[in-house]
């Protein structure tokens, strides 16, 4: 089940899962600029997917064939719901429910064991699992059983809870997972300090001893492709994940990004494309406009009048109003 991941070039590059950011629309925009080697969905709650709230969560799983390979990232607390969700992903049930053609499916399942947000931790999920390894074990085993060797299983986590904890990484590596993504901060650090790439390197060294077949992906403060290449070479990593760096450059996965040479009009045109794709994809209002407004910080910057235009656009009450504001500014 690891063969498709093993075929990836090394180092391979991944767009990080970011809630209310990396939906199918933004993934397509990134792909049209400079596609990574792998995409992740937003993280979606496995417990919710197995509840009456399932229809409201399906938007987080929407995708097109242009976004392959795409890994579903799930989180939650009940092992049985992980089993059911993994089984329905692996057998194509979710793809069919989303209206995708035969033969189009997700490429793997990733377990979110690193989100540091207070509500998730208080509920005993995500990074809280560092302190509940029996439950973490049950979740991994249940997910693996659900996948039935049809798709690879991976985990994304942090270097520790309150401090660096290699026993946590060793625990995960001992679970025979296909890929382990390490964010170079602890849960306690949130995003308040620079990512610790030396700690990520220590996890890679541990991988070499404990589970040589598991791919190690580094994550945290990666600016762009060239920066990622340097980090991968320095710490001998299989892959690099870029998160917030994409907000600075939609071409972050390109070896030769043209972004710094983009004129104001070219930036506005790309944002218009994003808005139009959003409107076509979410024509029934599945996504609120505020999830679109915030992309202003990517496109509307570094040109005369950008600040004033950004304020106007971020206060647009509808996608139509946002598009109208972009059209006026482009005249």
Looking at residues 218-245, what average pLDDT do you find?
Answer: 98
pLDDT of residue 329: 83
CA distance readout (Å), 155 to 31, 127, 166: 24, 11, 15
Concatenated DSSP letters for 153-211? EEEEEES-SSS--HHHHHHHHTT--SEEEEESS-TTTTTSS---HHHHHHHHHHHHHH-
Confidence of residue 6 (pLDDT cuts 50, 70, 90): low
- 3: pLDDT strictly greater than 70: no
- 218: pLDDT strictly greater than 70: yes
State the Cα–Cα distance between residues 91 and 103, nearest whole angstrom: 11
pLDDT of residue 321: 94
State the Cα–Cα distance between residues 86 and 76, nearest whole angstrom: 12
pLDDT of residue 1: 46
Q: Which residues contact 110 (CB under 8 A, 6 or more apart)?
A: 17, 40, 71, 72, 73, 74, 153, 154, 155, 156, 179, 181
Compute the Cα dihedral for 187, 292, 22, 197 and give only its sign: negative
Q: Which residues contact 7 (CB under 8 A, 6 or more apart)?
A: none
What pTM, to 2 d.p., does this model score?
Answer: 0.95
Domains and CATH numbers, the chain: 3-247 (3.20.20.70), 262-329 (no CATH)
Beta bridge partners of 279: none
Active site residues: 115
Looking at residues 212-221, what average pLDDT do you find?
Answer: 97
Q: What is the pLDDT of residues 27-51, one digit of tens each?
A: 999 999 999 999 999 999 999 999 9
């Amino acid at each position: 089940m690891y063969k498709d991941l093993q075929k990836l070039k090394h180092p391979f590059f991944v767009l990080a899962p970011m809630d209310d950011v990396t939906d199918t629309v933004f993934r397509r925009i990134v792909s049209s600029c400079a596609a990574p080697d792998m995409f992740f969905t937003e993280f979606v709650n496995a417990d919710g997917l197995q509840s009456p709230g399932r229809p409201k969560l399906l938007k987080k799983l929407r995708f097109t064939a242009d976004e392959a390979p795409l890994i579903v990232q799930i989180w939650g607390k009940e092992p049985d719901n992980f089993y059911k969700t993994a089984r329905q992903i692996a057998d194509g049930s979710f793809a069919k429910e989303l209206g995708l053609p035969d033969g189009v499916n997700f490429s793997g399942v990733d377990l979110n064991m690193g989100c540091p947000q207070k509500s998730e931790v208080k509920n005993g999920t995500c990074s809280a699992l560092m302190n509940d390894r029996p439950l973490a074990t049950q979740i991994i085993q249940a997910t693996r059983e659900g996948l039935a060797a049809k798709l690879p299983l991976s985990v994304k986590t942090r270097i520790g809870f309150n401090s660096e904890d290699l026993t946590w990484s060793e625990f995960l590596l001992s679970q025979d997972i296909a890929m382990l993504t390490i964010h170079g901060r602890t849960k306690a650090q949130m995003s308040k300090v620079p990512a610790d790439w030396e700690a990520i390197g220590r996890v890679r060294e541990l991988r070499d001893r404990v589970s040589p077949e598991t791919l190690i992906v580094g994550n945290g403060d990666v600016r762009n492709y060239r920066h990622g290449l340097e980090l991968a070479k320095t710490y001998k990593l299989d892959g690099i994940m870029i998160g917030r760096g994409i907000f600075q450059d939609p071409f972050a996965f390109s070896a030769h990004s043209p972004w710094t040479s983009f004129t104001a009009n070219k930036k506005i045109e790309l944002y218009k494309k994003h808005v139009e794709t959003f409107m076509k994809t979410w024509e029934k209002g599945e996504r609120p406009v505020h999830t679109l407004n915030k992309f202003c910080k990517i496109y509307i910057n570094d040109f005369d009048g950008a600040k004033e235009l950004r304020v106007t656009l971020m206060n647009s009450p509808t996608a139509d109003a946002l598009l109208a504001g972009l059209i006026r500014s482009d005249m």
